[in-house]
Amino acid sequence: MAIGSIEGTFDGRKNRVSRRHFGLVGLLACGLLVYGAIVLTGPWAIHIGGRPTPLLYWTGNGDLSTNSGMYPLYITIWPSSHFSTLRLHGVRPTGGVQGSASLCTSPATVVRMELTGTIYGGWRDTDGSYMDLRLLETRTIDLGQHRGYFNLYGQWHGPDLVMNDGNEPGTPLNSGLIIQRAYVRFKWGTKSDFKAACATLKGPLR
């Protein structure tokens, strides 16, 4: 192979590596800018529930007490740019939250749900702030099918998020279950904790 051809091949590879390197650097820089913007506009996101949360999310477990029984409930929450503009208990909104939830209605049945909401009064951390959440059944394919939901309203008390449904019954889930007169105290926990609680559920706990 001619020397010029070898040099051309080497230069081409070098240029591709350089472009890939600058592309990664650009993505990293964009990620850091987004992270910084989130922390600057909502520093509570790195201190949720009295814990350092540098990855900007919190997971919690609670027993959802309702008029039809008690069900293990697991949530994951992180900041969102979408939130209500209304006040709650006279407190102005300071940010949005989103995430996911899992509701165990039997050891063989876990309802997957989407989570959206608003935090009120939280700034440096979440302690004492109010929060409202909507938990909406997920759907794999959007065919316009019914999706049940229920709302929760509450306040952070140190590491615990204590919530109820504000006497607003939810709409029926696909299973027919309606969440009414709901109360839950979320404590930090893992998905493994939730699975263990779900596995021991013999039926709705009265």
Residue of higher predicted confidence among 133 and 13: 133
Q: What is the DSSP letter of 166?
A: T
Residues 67 and 129 in one domain: yes
CA distances from 183 to 44, 48, 97, 166 (A): 24, 21, 20, 9
The answer to whether residues 17 and 102 belong to one domain is no
Domain that holds residue 118: 46-199
The verdict on 133 and 110 lying in the same domain is yes
Is the torsion defined by CA of 185, 191, 196, 201 positive or negative?
positive
State the chain's maximal CA–CA distance in angstroms: 83
For residue 43, the SS3 value is helix
Q: Is the pLDDT of residue 41 over 60?
A: yes
CA–centroid distance for 137 within its chain = 14
Co-location of 78 and 130 in the same domain: yes
78, β-bridge pairs: 98
Q: Which two tokens stand for residue 26?
A: 């650009």
Name the domain count of the chain: 2
Comparing 7-16, 60-69, 76-85, the range with the smallest average pLDDT is 7-16
Please check whether residue 205 lies inside any domain of the structure. no
| Alpha helices in the chain, H assignment, sequence order | 3-41, 191-199
84 and 14 co-located in one domain: no
C-alpha 162/C-alpha 167 separation (Å) is 15
Residues 30 and 118 placed together within one structural domain of the fold: no
Question: How much is the pTM?
Answer: 0.84
* Structural domain includes residue 52: yes
- CA–CA distance from 88 to each of 103, 104, 121, 128, 180 (Å)? 26, 29, 9, 13, 21
Is 16 among the domain residues? yes
pLDDT tens-digit profile of 51-70? 999 999 999 999 999 999 99
Pick the residue with more confidence: 30 or 202?
Answer: 30
Count of other CB atoms within 10 angstroms of residue 14: 10
Q: For residues 179 and 148, state if they share a domain.
A: yes
